[in-house]
A = this chain, B = another copy of it.
């Protein structure tokens, strides 16, 4: 390999030489500096900059200014056990919202996968520097491995990076932005009950949704039957939910409705029902939570509780900015309200159980 002469980058000194001035002047011109420059000189410098195609060296700027001033980035760590957050429709929208809001705030963002950043100390040390990142957004699903490495890295984050916000799952004492899961579950289950359903199975995520499911049943005078709560595996959502749905189908008497913890699970359940020759919503009604993009495109359209994903993202960055402004002062966590979106999978537009 011939070591072709690397063309050295153009520096302020080159510009200064070309314009016949001192280097400092060039700096003044670029930053509308702390000192004034004679109009005629300014023009000469600008011309030289244009001619040589000069571009300031960011590294030198950041070194000098202490990256605070020079525009530090905002870090986003997202994911579960792999990169695959990017391939999950719910988190996609969250991420898109984060990017949009960051752009609105003029913040550069640096994106890291959970796998890289939180389970690999070497990667963490090499890539996540307080020099470069002044704020961090953690987007972590419920279940993550509590390895020693993981805990150690959380410690480092805590001591190095002043501002951290969590989306979805609260971690340590960092402020959190979440949607109201219990309320979402109550909305979904309440809606099914109002349509006349009495045996409602739950394709579960065991968080506040379960509480909401249970409470909604009791509120409406129905009994809570643990057998109707079926496990689903976050690591293989589609397959595990499909199997659990098959179980539901085999029950006697068969539940007339299914509450799915999120839209992915609902879609999986619909597939299982379809494959067994059962119709949605005529034979089994379905309601879920999330309102991902395709929820309204598939047929039957999914009745689901809309989670304000983009607003959650926007709030997360707002909280981060607040933290930054009031140095280290604990910023409040946020719980956002949700809203039911009625489509066809619940059967509200078709019939009411027991009334036809």
A residues with a Cβ closer than 8 A to B are 1, 4, 9, 53, 55, 57-60, 62-63, 67, 71, 83-84, 86-87, 89, 92-93, 95-96, 99-100, 103, 108-111, 113, 115-116, 125-127, 129-132, 159-160, 238, 267-268, 270-271, 274-275, 293-294, 297-299, 325-328
Contact = CB atoms under 8 A, between A and B. Distances in A.
Given A127-B108, A298-B267, A299-B274, A103 B115 contact: yes
Given A55-B130, A89-B89, A92-B87, A4 B113 contact: no
Nearest to A122: B106
Contacts of A238: 297
Contacts of A84: 96
Given A57-B129, A59-B67, 12 more contacts: A1-B326, A55-B160, A59-B131, A83-B99, A83-B100, A86-B93, A86-B99, A270-B299, A271-B297, A275-B299, A294-B294, A298-B298
A232 B62 CA distance: 47
A265 to B, nearest CB: 11
This chain: how many copies in the complex? 2
6 contacts: A55-B160, A59-B62, A86-B93, A87-B92, A103-B116, A274-B299
A131 B125 CA distance: 21
A103 B113 contact: yes
A103 B187 CA distance: 41
Contacts of A108: 127
